[in-house]
């Protein structure tokens, strides 16, 4: 069960920064979009490693040994 948390910072200049924690993948985007609708604007969006951790991204690593002789 997910328990989303929001860190919301509003600077004196009016810039809003939202950090969504406790959820992964596209659910992060959905929740950030919800906050954007409430606040009314978005200046910048940065995806964290939590966004990519939902299992939809696959990373393959191949190791090749070099033989000498």
Is 66 domain-assigned?
no
Whole-structure pTM value: 0.62
Name the residue range of residue 12's domain: 5-53
Is 25 domain-assigned?
yes
For the chain, what is the domain count? Answer: 1
Is 33 domain-assigned?
yes
Is 39 domain-assigned?
yes
Q: Which long-range contacts (CB under 8 A, 24 or more apart) does 28-34 make?
A: 31/4, 31/6
Choose between 23 and 66: higher pLDDT.
Answer: 23
Contact present, 51 and 21 (Cβ < 8 Å)? no
pLDDT of the residue at 58: 52
pLDDT of the residue at 4: 87
Is 64 domain-assigned?
no
Choose between 67 and 26: higher pLDDT.
Answer: 26
Is 60 domain-assigned?
no
| pLDDT per position as a tens digit, 21-46 | 888 888 888 998 888 888 877 778 88
DSSP per residue, the chain: ----EEEEEE-TT--EEEEEES--THHHHHHHHHHHHHH---S-----TTGGGSS---------PPP--
């Amino acid at each position: 069960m997910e328990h989303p948390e929001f860190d919301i910072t509003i600077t004196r200049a009016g810039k809003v920064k939202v950090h969504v924690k406790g959820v992964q993948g596209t659910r992060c985007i959905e929740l950030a979009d919800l906050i954007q609708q409430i606040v009314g604007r978005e200046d910048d969006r940065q995806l964290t490693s939590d966004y990519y951790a939902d299992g939809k991204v696959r990373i393959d690593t191949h190791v090749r040994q070099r033989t000498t002789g």
